Structure 1
Amino acid sequence: MRIHVDRHPGPDPVLLVHGFASNGSMTWEATGWVAALAAAGRGAIVPDLRGHGRSDSPHEAAAYSPELLAQDLLGVLDEQGVEQVDAMGYSMGSWVSLALVGLTPSRMRRLVVGGVGTVEQFGHWGVSAVQAALRDEPSALDASSPLAPLLASLRQAPGVDREALAACAAGMAAHPLPLASTVPTMLVVGDADPVTDGADEAARLLGAELVVLPKRNHVTTLSARGFKQAALPFLGAAVGVL
């Protein structure tokens, strides 16, 4: 599996793991995270998960699971020559990051996850409905689903491999959420984000510090100044000018 990686200069780089239907650049550069880490004196390792961005995109559901995507990240750490790392994941990237902790806890120091609760969204709203919505049948997915606006925007996006995303949704839904962590963990959610239902319970299961950002939804939580102000000190980084 060919995984595309952007390595941003700086010592002690943080591994940044994006979510479903996004890529490393959109999630972490466009929202100011890479710049914030640089201002705090840290580098960044920013991969595109399989099925996304410039990485390989298999069309079989069996090619996707939290553990398989975590194995890709372990290969990234090996290729980058990083023995131990702090990591941050958002949305589906949170599940992949938690799977990485389970796969190789000795390689992980601290973890920040965001945009998740206790509900696996693809299975909850119906994998077949999600796949149909990806394939230009928007009425297949309940209009109240928080996935509906995301998939609507995807239908307009150039260069997105929607068959790979459909396979990813099925593969991820077929596996239990990795709601456990053996390293210091922080969970950050927006209080207007329906994707994070059960965040209190998720934090309890993870033994995580829970940070709730007011008036933030699934999209706006990621770019919130409050997210950076909470996560950077937790990762041992100074908060620069945000």
Structure 2
Amino acid sequence: MRIHVDRHPGQDPVLLVHGFATTGALTWEATGWVAALAAAGRGALVPDLRGHGASEKPHEASAYSPELLARDLLAVLDEQGVGGVDVIGYSMGSWVALALVGLAPERVRRVVVGGVGTVEQFGRWGVADVRRAILDGVDTLPPESPLAPLLASLREAPGVDREALAACAEGMAAHPLPLASTVPTLLVVGEADPVAEGVDDAAALLGAELVVLPRRNHITTLSARGFKQAALPFLGASVSL
């Protein structure tokens, strides 16, 4: 599996794991995370998950699961010569980050996860309907679904491999969420984020410190200054925003 990764200069790089239907650059560079880490003297490893960006895009649902994507991250760490690492994941990337903790806890020092609760969203809204919305642009999801605006935006996004994203959604939904952590964990969510359903239970299951950002939703939490102000000190980095 060919996995694209950008390495940004700096000491002790942080592994940054993006979510569904986006890329590493859009998630972490465009929102100021790479710059914030650089200001704190930290580098960054920014991969594109399989099915996304410049990485390989299999069209089979069997090619996607939290563990398979986590194994890709482990291969990235090996290829980059990085042993122990701090990890930040967001949305679907949080599940991949937690799967990495389960797969190789000796490689993860601390993990920050954002934009998740206890509910797997693809299954919650029906995998078949999600697949149709991705592939055909059919409004098969109810308007209250937090996936509806994301999938609507996919119809306008250039260069998206819809077959790969449909396979990813189906494959990820077929596996239980990795709601466990054996390393220090921080969970950050927006107060107005419907994707973070069950966040208090999620924090308890993870043994995580929980930070809730007022008035932030699933999209605006990612770029929030408060997210960085919580995450960087947790990772032992100074905040300069």
When normalised by structure 2's length, the TM-score is 0.99
Task: Look up the equivalent residue of 2:148 and give its one-letter code.
Answer: A
Q: What CA distance in whole angstroms lies between the structure 1 residues aligned with 2:80 and 2:142?
A: 42
Task: After superposing the two structures, state which structure 1 stretch, 136-145 or 33-42, moved more.
Answer: 136-145
The answer for the alignment partner of 2:237 in structure 1 is: 237
Q: What CA distance in whole angstroms lies between the structure 2 residues aligned with 1:140 and 1:195?
A: 18
The answer for the alignment partner of 1:71 in structure 2 is: 71
Name the SS for the 1:89 alignment partner.
strand
The offset of 1:137, in angstroms, is: 3.6
CA displacement 1:81-139 (0-9 Å, x = unmatched): 00100000000000000000000000000000000000000000001101101123432
Q: What CA distance in whole angstroms lies between the structure 2 residues aligned with 1:72 and 1:135?
A: 25
When normalised by structure 1's length, the TM-score is 0.99
The answer for the alignment partner of 1:20 in structure 2 is: 20
CA displacement 1:152-211 (0-9 Å, x = unmatched): 010001100010000000000000000000000000000000000000000000000000
The offset of 1:222, in angstroms, is: 0.2
Q: Once superposed, what is the RMSD of the aligned Cα atoms?
A: 0.5
Aligned positions of 1:154-169 closer than 5 A? 154-169=154-169
8 Å contact from structure 1 (residues 48, 54) kept in 2: yes
Q: What CA distance in whole angstroms lies between the structure 2 residues aligned with 1:7 and 1:137?
A: 35
The answer for the alignment partner of 1:213 in structure 2 is: 213
Task: Look up the equivalent residue of 2:84 and give its one-letter code.
Answer: Q
Name the SS for the 1:227 alignment partner.
helix
Q: What CA distance in whole angstroms lies between the structure 1 residues aligned with 2:5 and 2:137?
A: 33
Mark the runs of 5 or more structure 1 residues left unpaired by the alignment.
none
Residue 178 in structure 1 maps to residue 178 in structure 2: yes
8 Å contact from structure 1 (residues 125, 145) kept in 2: yes
Q: What CA distance in whole angstroms lies between the structure 2 residues aligned with 1:222 and 1:180?
A: 22
The answer for the alignment partner of 2:192 in structure 1 is: 192
The offset of 1:13, in angstroms, is: 0.2
Q: What CA distance in whole angstroms lies between the structure 2 residues aligned with 1:193 and 1:86?
A: 25
Task: Look up the equivalent residue of 2:100 and give its one-letter code.
Answer: L
Moved over 6 A (4+): none
8 Å contact from structure 1 (residues 138, 148) kept in 2: no
The answer for the alignment partner of 1:149 in structure 2 is: 149
Q: What CA distance in whole angstroms lies between the structure 2 residues aligned with 1:137 and 1:158?
A: 14
